[in-house]
Amino acid sequence: MAQLEVSTETPLRRLLPHHRNTTHSAKNGVTVSVGESSHTTRRVRVLDRIQTRVSRDCLDAELAKGVPPDSSVFLSLRAKQLLTRSERLGLVRSLRRILTTSEQSNTVRLGVPFNRDAIRNSRQQLEQLIEKLEGDLPVDVRSMASLHNLVVDGGSPLYLVSPGRDLKAELTVLLAAVETTPDHSSGGSAAVAR
- Percentage helix, strand, coil for the chain under 3-state DSSP, each rounded to 5: 55, 15, 35
Give the residue numbers spanning the domain of 49: 5-83
Clarify whether residues 103 and 168 are in a common domain: yes
Mean pLDDT, residues 2-13 taken together? 36
* Closest CA relative to residue 3, chosen from 23, 33, 24, 35: 33
Clarify whether residues 10 and 78 are in a common domain: yes
113 pLDDT tier (thresholds 50, 70, 90): confident
Clarify whether residues 111 and 39 are in a common domain: no
* Closest CA relative to residue 179, chosen from 127, 130, 139: 139
* 92-112 pLDDT, tens digit each: 999 999 999 888 876 666 677
Residue 135 domain flag: yes
Residue 142's pLDDT is what?
94
Clarify whether residues 111 and 138 are in a common domain: yes
> Which of 43, 64, 83 is where one domain is finished?
83
Residue 186 domain flag: no
> Which of 19, 50, 83 is where one domain is finished?
83
Clarify whether residues 77 and 98 are in a common domain: no
19 pLDDT tier (thresholds 50, 70, 90): very low
Mean pLDDT, residues 157-177 taken together? 87
Residue 193 domain flag: no
| AA letter at 17 | P
Query: What's the Rg (C-alpha) of the chain?
Result: 18
Predicted structure pTM score: 0.72
Residue 194 domain flag: no
Residue 191 domain flag: no
* Closest CA relative to residue 4, chosen from 194, 189, 185, 193: 189
Residue 164's pLDDT is what?
80
- Asked whether the predicted pLDDT for residue 12 surpasses 60, the reply is no
User: 35 vs 125, which has greater pLDDT?
Assistant: 125
Residue 43's pLDDT is what?
76
Clarify whether residues 77 and 101 are in a common domain: no
Clarify whether residues 157 and 102 are in a common domain: yes
Mean pLDDT, residues 7-22 taken together? 31
How are beta strands 29-34 and 192-193 bridged, if at all?
unpaired
Clarify whether residues 49 and 109 are in a common domain: no
Tally Cβ neighbours within 10 Å of residue 117: 11
Alpha-carbon distance values, 72 to 28, 42, 57, 108, 179 (Å): 14, 11, 15, 41, 24
* 44-85 pLDDT, tens digit each: 788 888 888 899 999 999 999 999 998 888 999 999 999 999
* 121-134 pLDDT, tens digit each: 999 999 999 999 99
Clarify whether residues 74 and 98 are in a common domain: no
> What's the domain count of the chain?
2
User: 44 vs 161, which has greater pLDDT?
Assistant: 44
Clarify whether residues 52 and 12 are in a common domain: yes
